[in-house]
Amino acid sequence: MKKLALMVAGVLAAGAAGAAPNWSKVPVANVPVFYPGQAGLEWVLVKKDHSASNQILDKKRACTKCHDTDATEIGDKIVAGKPVGNMRQPLDSAAPKGKAGSIPVSVQAAHDGNKIYLRFEWDTPKSGGDKKMDPKNDMKLTVMFEDNKVEYADRGGCWATCHEDMRGMPDASDASKTHPKAKVMGWSDGVTKYLKESRTGLEMSGKARGGWDKLKSDAEIEAALKEGKFMDLIQFNSGKGEAVDGYVLDARHMGGGKSLVKVDGKKSGNHWTVVFERKLAAGGKGDHTIAPGKLYNIGFAIHDDNADGRYHQVSLGYTLGLDNAKADFNAVKQ
């Protein structure tokens, strides 16, 4: 009863502000986020690890085509350290104790012609009780999307940014920390997300997979940014309740964007509701314009239970559109 009264008050407040969408009218997409272990891009694209790699490369098949129903099983297996993939080897021998294999998330989207609203809701799984890797943030929710210019983002969403030589991954190199560009890249703790578009090549199956040190020239990276070859990144962190507007190209940049207006994140009991409010227009560095008539590739991740780095739960790749029934996340105008 009390909850109902609060909800009614919330709806009235929103109505008074004249802005927030009426979420009860918006369809819900149910999306699992799951624990991916160390299955980076080079892992999913190589046959000896992942038998379906050819289907992704040649037939351009998206992860969701094969894993729409078994993503939760995959998460359970990886988190338990069970053998997975073609090689039947464990993908992760360092999964946090008691970590949930997956979390079901409800996703909704709406827009008003000026701004898009993305709403995520889920119940936090029981804490694993392992050490708090990020003591300041109980939870972080990160969304990445792009405009059909980033290779593999059409099939794998966030997988386009995740490589075997990033920090915490099997082929990580300490050399990144003393690289001349370590400071501008934000590599003090090691290599962060990057796109193939920023590198001269990616090693797919050698001893050191990935291409962290195969950086293209500054001019080429600048050009890629201008051409829209980047993943726009928005994040909410629960510690300070901050809204971060960045992007991923040569590295993960946690700033530069100007399109994100605000993020409202609330935890009631164990239930999280997070609403991103973002201008449709690109405002700053690493911002994409979200225009009608197009489909954007989108993925998101939750760092639950004070997790940090790779110890998150991630979604496969989905599509976002405005008033577009073909989109997995269809933002309907209100």
Residues 6+ apart with CB under 8 A from 279: 114, 115, 116, 259, 260, 261
Judge residue 206's burial from the number of C-beta atoms within 10 Å of its C-beta, 0-12 exposed, 13-18 middle, 19 or more buried: exposed
Reference 298, options 319, 316, 274, 277; nearest CA is 319
Nearer to ligand HEC, 29 or 66 (CB): 66
Nearer to ligand HEC, 61 or 214 (CB): 61
- Give the one residue of 32, 40, 101, 156 binding ligand HEC; rule: CB under 6 A: 156
Nearer to ligand HEC, 73 or 242 (CB): 73
Evaluate whether 30 touches 162 at the Cβ level (below 8 Å): no
- Give the one residue of 11, 61, 289, 334 binding ligand HEC; rule: CB under 6 A: 61
**Measured between alpha carbons, how far is 120 from 124 in angstroms, rounded to an integer?**
12
**Measured between alpha carbons, how far is 67 from 303 in angstroms, rounded to an integer?**
21
Q: State the CB neighbour count (10 A cutoff) for residue 188.
A: 9
Nearer to ligand HEC, 63 or 191 (CB): 63
Nearer to ligand HEC, 67 or 179 (CB): 67
The two tokens of residue 78 are 């990886």
Asked whether position 253 contacts ligand HEC by CB under 6 A, the answer is no
Asked whether position 66 contacts ligand HEC by CB under 6 A, the answer is yes
- What is the per-residue binding string for ligand HEC in 82-121, x denoting contact by CB under 6 A? --xxx-----------------------------------
Nearer to ligand HEC, 84 or 302 (CB): 84
Query: Residue for token digits 């796109």?
Result: 195
Reference 199, options 211, 208, 183; nearest CA is 211
Q: How many residues bind ligand HEC, per CB under 6 A?
A: 21
**Measured between alpha carbons, how far is 198 from 209 in angstroms, rounded to an integer?**
16
Asked whether position 127 contacts ligand HEC by CB under 6 A, the answer is no
CB of 55 to ligand HEC, least distance (A): 4
Reference 141, options 39, 252, 275, 261; nearest CA is 275
CB of 63 to ligand HEC, least distance (A): 3
For 287: left if phi > 0, alpha if psi spans -120 to 50, otherwise beta; the answer is beta
The two tokens of residue 233 are 């990144």
- Give the one residue of 11, 55, 125, 256 binding ligand HEC; rule: CB under 6 A: 55
Evaluate whether 303 touches 151 at the Cβ level (below 8 Å): no
Nearer to ligand HEC, 58 or 174 (CB): 58
Q: State the CB neighbour count (10 A cutoff) for residue 55.
A: 15
Q: Which stretch binds ligand HEC (CB under 6 A): 25-33, 51-59, 96-104, 188-196?
A: 51-59
- Give the one residue of 40, 50, 119, 321 binding ligand HEC; rule: CB under 6 A: 50
- Give the one residue of 21, 77, 172, 248 binding ligand HEC; rule: CB under 6 A: 77
Query: Site residues (CB under 6 A) for ligand HEC?
Result: 36, 39, 44, 50-52, 55-56, 61, 63, 65-67, 74, 77, 84-86, 155-156, 159
